[in-house]
């Protein structure tokens, strides 16, 4: 499928046509294999055809097909858009779901039935999944209100329940951005109570009210840089940490990018040292504990002590057999 996709892209980008020999050389496949792929693509509903020019035969895409598209998109862009719908499943249950479904209905209507079969074959060969995601039906009002406030730059008032203390406080917030990550919705904004930028989980927002007060985003504010300081979601003052991962789990540490500041140093015993510059909070602690006994904090000592305390508490849970 990936080779056939490349063929479509090559024909699409060569408006004057491209020969079979050139296609064959570009893809590194025999001409016989190329013609089998071209046949599959044509049966898939893509309007490609061969045009004779003297001794040359050039493969082209019908210009009329481009002109009938509902959006100024190329055929492969339209197919890629439809194939990417797995990425948008995180919005199921949110106010965006209906619009997303309408969008893909229009995309399907613009494609031939055979092309849809081609797409489904392509989609079945690659599965994009981010794990289970919650439904956002109960948050649709908050998402809608926040989106409106962000666009209109209107201050909001919220009742917010902090996860650390469980207490609920009234906050005035200048909403800068709605952030979707790890299957959840968050609000990035200036909290007037804390006099600083904070990240709020929509799950813990209650009684959102859009105020008549307007706000301006500071010109020197870089929200992307602010988010980069987070390990996962929670931000804070970054600290340098070093975690030693034993050989039995080193492959997991090597295969993932845990943070943009990450540095991995190989150890003589087959393990690795991972260095990060991140805020130390329960997200980082949970990540380290996830490696179990295979992880050992080298520095800072304060984090090493916290991890040790967590392991000691966990061990106490197993000192007696539950009845």
pLDDT band at 125 (very low <50, low <70, confident <90, very high): low
In a domain, 62, yes or no: yes
pLDDT at 307 over 60: yes
Q: Is residue 233 part of a domain?
A: no
Say if residue 289 is in the same domain as residue 201.
no
Cβ 244 vs Cβ 203: under 8 Å = no
The CATH number covering residue 159 comes to 2.30.30.520
- Indicate whether 270 belongs to any domain: yes
Q: How far is CA 265 from the centre of its chain?
A: 27
Mean pLDDT of 3-26: 87
Q: Which of 129, 157, 189 is the last residue of a domain?
A: 129
How many folded domains does the chain comprise? 3
Q: Is residue 321 part of a domain?
A: no
For residues 83 and 188, state if they share a domain.
no
pLDDT value of position 164: 65
Averaged pLDDT score across all residues of the chain: 84
Most confident of 17-31, 216-230, 252-266, 289-303: 289-303
Q: What is the pLDDT of residue 321?
A: 77
- For 42, the token pair is 């044509």
Clarify whether residues 8 and 76 are in a common domain.
Answer: yes
Q: In this prediction, what percent of the chain has a pLDDT beyond 90?
A: 35
Token match 């209905």: residue? Answer: 105
Which of 111, 129, 147 is the last residue before a domain boundary?
129
Tens of pLDDT, residues 229-243 = 788 888 888 999 999
Residue 52: CATH number of its domain: 1.10.10.10
153-209 residue pLDDT tens: 999 999 998 776 778 899 999 999 988 877 778 899 999 999 999 999 888 888 899
- For residue 19, the model assigns a pLDDT of 92
Residues 32 and 87 in one domain: yes
pTM (2 decimals)? 0.59
Predicted confidence at residue 9, as pLDDT, reads 83
Same domain as 102, residue 77: yes
- What distance in Å separates the CA atoms of residue 284 and residue 162, rounded to the nearest whole number? 18
Most confidently predicted of 53-67, 113-127, 136-150, 243-257 = 243-257
Give the pLDDT of residue 311: 94
pLDDT in tens, 127-143: 666 665 666 667 777 87
What pLDDT is attached to residue 305? 96
The alpha-helical segments, DSSP class H, found in the chain are: 2-13, 20-27, 31-43, 63-67, 75-83, 96-109, 113-125, 140-152, 223-228, 247-255, 282-289, 301-316
In the predicted structure, residue 121 carries a pLDDT above the cut 60: yes
**Which one is predicted more confidently, 146 or 98?**
146
Alpha helices in 63-165 (DSSP H): 63-67, 75-83, 96-109, 113-125, 140-152
* Crossing angle of helices 31-43 and 113-125, rounded to 10°: 120
In a domain, 284, yes or no: yes
User: Are 244 and 190 found together in one domain?
Assistant: no
Q: Is the pLDDT of residue 253 over 80?
A: yes
**Which of 107, 129, 151 is the endpoint of a domain?**
129
21 and 141 co-located in one domain: no
| Whether residues 14 and 66 fall in one domain | yes
CA distances 208 to 92, 106, 141, 151, 160, Å, are 22, 34, 9, 16, 9
pLDDT value at residue 119 = 72
* 246 in the same domain as 205: no
**Residue-level pLDDT at 170:** 93
Both structure tokens of 130: 């981010």
Same domain, 148 and 32: no
* Residue 60 belongs to a domain: yes
- Residue 290, domain extent: 239-316
Q: Are residues 192 and 249 in the same domain?
A: no
Predicted local distance difference test score (pLDDT) of residue 58: 92
In a domain? residue 278: yes
- b vs e for 249-284, b when ≥16 Cβ sit within 10 Å of the residue's Cβ? bbeebeeeebbeeeeeeeeeeebbbbbbebebbeeb
- Residue 322 falls inside a structural domain: no
pLDDT digits (tens, 9 = 90+) for 41-88: 888 788 888 998 877 889 998 876 655 555 666 767 777 777 677 777
**Is the predicted pLDDT of residue 106 greater than 90, yes or no?**
no
| Confidence label for 286 from pLDDT (cuts 50, 70 and 90) | very high
Report yes or no: 191 and 158 within 8 Å, Cβ to Cβ.
no
Q: Are residues 118 and 94 in the same domain?
A: yes
């Amino acid at each position: 499928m990936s080779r056939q996709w490349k063929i479509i892209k090559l024909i699409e980008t060569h408006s004057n046509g491209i020969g079979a020999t050139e296609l064959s050389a570009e893809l590194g496949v025999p001409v016989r294999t190329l013609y089998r792929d071209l046949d599959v693509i044509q049966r898939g509903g893509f309007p490609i055809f061969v045009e004779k020019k003297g001794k040359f035969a050039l493969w082209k895409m019908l210009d009329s097909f481009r002109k009938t598209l509902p959006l100024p998109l190329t055929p492969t862009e339209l197919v890629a858009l439809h194939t990417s719908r797995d990425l948008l499943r995180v919005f199921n249950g949110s106010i965006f779901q209906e619009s997303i479904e309408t969008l893909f209905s229009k995309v399907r209507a613009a494609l031939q039935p055979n092309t849809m079969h081609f797409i489904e074959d392509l989609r079945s060969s690659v599965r994009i999944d981010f794990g289970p995601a919650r439904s956002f039906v109960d948050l649709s009002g908050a998402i809608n209100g926040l989106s409106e406030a962000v666009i209109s730059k209107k201050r909001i008032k919220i009742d917010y329940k902090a996860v650390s203390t469980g207490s609920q406080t009234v906050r005035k917030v200048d909403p800068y951005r709605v952030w979707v990550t790890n299957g959840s919705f968050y609000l990035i904004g200036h909290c007037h109570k804390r006099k600083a930028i904070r990240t709020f989980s929509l799950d813990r927002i209650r009684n959102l009210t859009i105020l008549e007060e307007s706000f301006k985003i500071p010109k020197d504010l870089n929200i992307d840089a602010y988010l980069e300081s987070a390990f996962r979601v929670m931000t804070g003052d970054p600290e340098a940490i070093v975690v030693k991962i034993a050989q039995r789990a080193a492959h997991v540490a090597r295969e993932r990018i845990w943070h943009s500041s990450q540095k991995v140093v190989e150890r003589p015993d087959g393990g690795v040292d991972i260095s990060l510059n991140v805020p130390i909070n329960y997200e980082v602690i949970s990540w380290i504990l996830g490696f179990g006994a295979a992880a050992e904090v080298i520095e800072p000592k304060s984090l090493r002590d916290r991890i040790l305390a967590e392991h000691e508490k966990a061990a106490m849970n197993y000192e007696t057999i539950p009845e």
